[in-house]
Amino acid sequence: MVDKAKIWSLLEQVNDPEVPVLSVVDLGIIREVAGDTIPEIVLTPTYSGCPAMDAIRMNIRMVLLSNGYRDFKLTTVLSPAWTTEWMSEEGKDKLKAYGIAPPLPLQQVCHPGLFVREEAVACPHCNSYHTTLISEFGSTACKSLYRCEDCGEPFDYFKCH
């Protein structure tokens, strides 16, 4: 029998290469651990072209192999699409502590007029909402770049997904 709890625990050791403070479990890209005799890990990338997925799959393989799992299956599922709502609350706290503004609990601009207005994003450094969007694209395609007008620090924001 597949020890699914053990595999979930092992997956918590696999960090996102783009945001290394988050595990793939924190990020919410592990949809399911399935299988009765051979484990199947079902993943959904943050977006279909995510360049980190090859590294993530390799790191999952390495963790499973180093813990005695020789037979397993990694399955990528694109529908439904990943959403920031799948991130764990602990993961969102880790993002903020790392200096990246976590996604808002209720996305404000997930609509066709996305580029018309900015979200009210709190600075992860000083918690001020006096922030300005600098670029829709930050250090990765998943994030926008903001600047805090109070403390002057630039920061990434995990944008609407």
pLDDT at 88 > cutoff 80: yes
Give the total number of structural domains in the chain. 2
Amino acid at 73: K
Domain boundary among 82, 113, 142: 82
Other beta carbons within 10 angstroms of residue 65's beta carbon come to 11
Q: What is the average pLDDT score of the chain?
A: 90
Q: Which residues of 29-46 are buried (b: 16+ CB within 10 A; e: fewer)?
A: bbbebebeeebebbbbbb
The residue segments making up the domain with residue 130 are 89-158
Given this model, what pLDDT does residue 104 score? 81
Same domain, 19 and 67: yes
Distance CA 5, CA 7 (A): 5
DSSP state of 15: B
| Look-up of token digits 């670029």 | 135
Domain boundary among 82, 106, 140: 82
The string of pLDDT tens digits covering residues 36-50 is 999 999 999 998 888
Q: Is the dihedral of CA 61, 64, 68, 72 positive or negative?
A: negative
Domain boundary among 37, 62, 82: 82
Q: Is the pTM of this model over 0.85?
A: no
Given this model, what pLDDT does residue 107 score? 53
Same domain, 94 and 77: no
The string of pLDDT tens digits covering residues 41-83 is 999 999 888 889 999 999 999 999 999 999 999 999 999 999 9
Q: Bridge partners of 76?
A: 43
Confidence of residue 113 (pLDDT cuts 50, 70, 90): low
Given this model, what pLDDT does residue 53 score? 94
The string of pLDDT tens digits covering residues 118-139 is 678 999 999 999 999 999 888 8
Q: What is the number of helices (H) and of strands (E) in the chain?
A: 4, 7
Same domain, 99 and 150: yes
Other beta carbons within 10 angstroms of residue 104's beta carbon come to 18
DSSP state of 86: G
Other beta carbons within 10 angstroms of residue 3's beta carbon come to 12
Distance CA 109, CA 102 (A): 15
